[in-house]
Amino acid sequence: MIEGMSIRRPLPCDPRHRWAAYARSLAVLAIAYNVLESLVSMAFGWADGSVALFGFGADSLIEVASSMLVLWRLAREPAPPGAGRESRAALAIGVLFLLLAAGTAAGSAMQLLSRRHPATTLPGLAVSTLSVGMMLWLWRGKRRAARALDSRALAGDAACSLVCIQLSAVLFLGSLAYWLRPALWWADALAALALAGFIGREGWAMVAAARRPDFQGGCGCH
Question: Is the distance from CB of 122 to CB of 180 less than 8 angstroms?
Answer: no
In angstroms, the Cα distances linking 189 to 68, 69, 112, 172, 174 are 31, 32, 6, 13, 8
Hey, where are the domains in the chain? 16-210
| Pure H helices in 49-151 | 51-75, 84-114, 122-149
**pTM recorded for the entire structure:** 0.73
Show pLDDT as tens, one digit a residue, over the chain (222 residues).
444 555 777 877 778 888 888 888 898 999 999 999 999 999 988 887 887 888 888 878 877 877 887 787 777 655 444 456 667 766 777 787 788 788 778 877 877 787 776 666 788 889 989 999 999 999 999 889 888 887 777 777 787 788 788 888 888 888 888 788 877 778 777 887 888 888 788 778 878 877 877 766 555 555
